[in-house]
Amino acid sequence: MKRNQFKIYLLTFLSVIGLTSCTDLEIEETDSIITEGFQGLTDASSTVDNLYNDIAGAISTQENLYALNEVTGDAALVPTRGTDWGDNGRWRVLHQHAWTNEQLFIINTWNQWNAYQLTASQVLDPRSNASAVNTGDASFVRAWAVWNILDLYGQVPFRDVTLPSSALPDVLTGEAAVSQILTDVDNAIANLPTIPAGSGDDLGRASKSAARMLKAKVLLNKHIYTGGSPDAADMTEVVSLVDAITADGYALDADYFGIFRNTPDSETIFHLASDVGPRIWNGLHYNSTSIESGWNGFSTLAEYYDLFEGDADFNNVDVQGGTPLNNQELRRGGVPLTGAPFTGEPGTTDEGGLELGSNVGFGFLINQQYDLQGNPLNDRQGAPLTFKREFRDGNGDINFINNDETTGIRVIKYHPKYGARLTHMVVFRYADALLMKAEAILRGGSSADDAAAIVNDLRVVRGVAALGTVDLSTLLDVRARELYAEGWRRNDLIRFGQFGRDWLFKEPSSVGDATKQVFPIPGPQLLANPNLTQNPGY
């Protein structure tokens, strides 16, 4: 479908289309130069449709935005096993905090989200004659895009599409960037529809609750961008925003892993029609299931796994419903000892009387893995397929490279037995909103509710005992257990002052290095737009 009648050539769009690694300093036509003056869109509605589709595709991959937000923390790493996932070290440098401005995912993410921002600005131009709902969608997307760029890079090139094409984009930082985001998100709240909880596919587009969630995220992190401490008035507004989401009917869902199916639930506030396949297959072994071969990459650190309650060396679950067998925390999931009987549950497939793929566990997979009939699985060399806590090379030494096929605890929330390639990626959900409310209260926000009571209500629903007290340190661990593999870990670690701490395989020189809280500006962008300056430390 044709978006408009003019041509815009820019580095950001070229990178979105090609996703190629342009690391030389040759200046072509970039996001700082539009070759033809913008005169408005001929079909704002189709542009908004395409914009959501483009973002859904970008969100689907485990690369780019997801990699920058998860692999750079303690929750995810991608070791090199043999030659698999070597990729010239691009995955390892993220976890090590040893990246440069030539790292492919840093370049791609900059290009993608700046492109989305520009497209949203074109929709919002009065000459495009966008409807109220399209205005709401575009305002939401621009706020989301500008926030991602600010959060990741600390500065945002922002083009006023009414200016001549020769004008370079201004660069927003700090208060100016936050002000722009909040203006857009308020415009989104004013124009978007109210979509109640459990509305299924309707939640694949932004709503008032999704926009309120985004605004709460921005306010909760505002002091990171502007300096100083959290403002009590901002924290009180976070509380009010979450209360408004609650008023739209959103509530905790007792079926934790059911939230990540393509069926209605009470927690999903906003999802995208993104292929969840990469979230399923990037960590599973090649022999995990016959549905599709896993990619055997993503794992988690043992220290992250140990945040969950229960015996760290015992992680099996009952085949019927995945009930833990050793009092481990429900959200930690576990490994079934055999496949589940086929009952005709929607989305499942009969494989000789058993549910195809049901031998794969939910949550964290450790130790021996089993096939549908309950036989121990082997790796491709015939050794037992036992996912291990440690990352050891052929000499038995702890190492990021030269691992065998079985090192690392694997993580799975979207499950293959419901479909290898479903298009349903959760972006915002209610449990996160409640934990943000609890955090805002602990950071000075006014509320009739108690932060510990909010956290304990969540814990009870998740099947674990209430905590006596809750402070910010405790809350970070609560967020780790609730929101793993959902793209929030880097953001959380920075806000709680933990992004610079040491963890396995981090470069010693990067421990405590605050400059790593933002990524470098790609080199060609600095040459194309002199209003940009390279971030300190790069």
Quickly state the pLDDT bin for 264 (edges 50, 70, 90): very high
At which of 417, 444, 475 does a domain end? 417
Q: How many CB atoms lie within 10 A of CB 11?
A: 24
Whether the CB-CB separation of 523 and 30 falls below 8 Å is answered with: no
Phi (first) and psi of residue 434, to 5 degrees: -65, -40
Q: Which domain holds residue 171?
A: 1-75+96-192+507-538
- Give which of 518, 529, 522, 528 is closest to 537, Cα–Cα: 518
Instruction: For residues 386 and 516, state if they share a domain.
Output: no
Question: Does residue 159 sit within a domain?
Answer: yes
User: How high is the pLDDT of residue 12?
Assistant: 38
pLDDT tens digit sequence for 71-108: 999 999 999 999 999 999 999 999 999 999 999 999 99
pLDDT value at 32 more than 50: no
Instruction: For residues 400 and 531, state if they share a domain.
Output: no
Whether the CB-CB separation of 180 and 146 falls below 8 Å is answered with: yes
Instruction: For residues 389 and 519, state if they share a domain.
Output: no
pLDDT tens digit sequence for 354-398: 999 999 999 999 999 999 999 999 999 999 999 999 999 989 999
Question: Does residue 123 sit within a domain?
Answer: yes
Question: Does residue 484 sit within a domain?
Answer: no
Question: Does residue 124 sit within a domain?
Answer: yes
Return d(Cα 538, Cα 536) in angstroms, integer: 6
At which of 394, 417, 440 does a domain end? 417
User: How high is the pLDDT of residue 167?
Assistant: 87
Calculate mean pLDDT across residues 30-53.
81
CATH classification at residue 171: 1.25.40.390
User: How high is the pLDDT of residue 19?
Assistant: 38
pLDDT tens digit sequence for 206-262: 999 999 999 999 999 999 999 999 999 999 999 999 999 999 999 999 999 999 999
**DSSP per residue, 410-452:** EEESS-GGG-TT-EEEEEEEHHHHHHHHHHHHHTT---SS-HH
Return d(Cα 157, Cα 525) in angstroms, integer: 10
Task: Give the amino acid at 110.
Answer: W
Question: Does residue 370 sit within a domain?
Answer: yes
Quickly tell me which residue has 């036992």 as its tokens.
Answer: 386
Instruction: Return the structure tokens found at 282.
Output: 């990037």
Structural domains of the chain, count: 2
Calculate mean pLDDT across residues 498-518.
97
Question: Does residue 494 sit within a domain?
Answer: no
Element (H, E) at 367: strand 367-368
Quickly state the pLDDT bin for 321 (edges 50, 70, 90): low
**E-state strands within 123-175:** 156-158, 170-172
Element (H, E) at 274: strand 268-275
Instruction: Return the structure tokens found at 387.
Output: 């996912």
Tell me the Cα Rg of the chain: 23
pLDDT tens digit sequence for 104-133: 999 999 999 999 999 999 999 999 999 999
Instruction: For residues 375 and 512, state if they share a domain.
Output: no
Question: Does residue 218 sit within a domain?
Answer: no
User: How high is the pLDDT of residue 166?
Assistant: 80
Instruction: For residues 413 and 535, state if they share a domain.
Output: no
pLDDT tens digit sequence for 461-474: 999 999 999 999 99
Return d(Cα 367, Cα 154) in angstroms, integer: 41
Return d(Cα 146, Cα 81) in angstroms, integer: 37
Strands 170-172 and 268-275: unpaired
pLDDT value at 34 more than 70: no
User: How high is the pLDDT of residue 16?
Assistant: 37
Instruction: For residues 120 and 3, state if they share a domain.
Output: yes
Whether the CB-CB separation of 363 and 371 falls below 8 Å is answered with: no
Q: How many CB atoms lie within 10 A of CB 226?
A: 15
Is 351 strand, coil or helix?
strand
Return d(Cα 422, Cα 438) in angstroms, integer: 33
Instruction: For residues 520 and 394, state if they share a domain.
Output: no
Return d(Cα 436, Cα 513) in angstroms, integer: 26
At which of 370, 392, 417 does a domain end? 417
Q: How many CB atoms lie within 10 A of CB 469?
A: 8
Q: Output DSSP code: residue 514.
A: G
Instruction: For residues 391 and 514, state if they share a domain.
Output: no
Whether the CB-CB separation of 401 and 241 falls below 8 Å is answered with: no
What percentage of the chain carries pLDDT values higher than 70?
Answer: 93
Return d(Cα 298, Cα 117) in angstroms, integer: 30
Instruction: For residues 20 and 168, state if they share a domain.
Output: yes
Q: How many CB atoms lie within 10 A of CB 71?
A: 24
Question: Does residue 127 sit within a domain?
Answer: yes
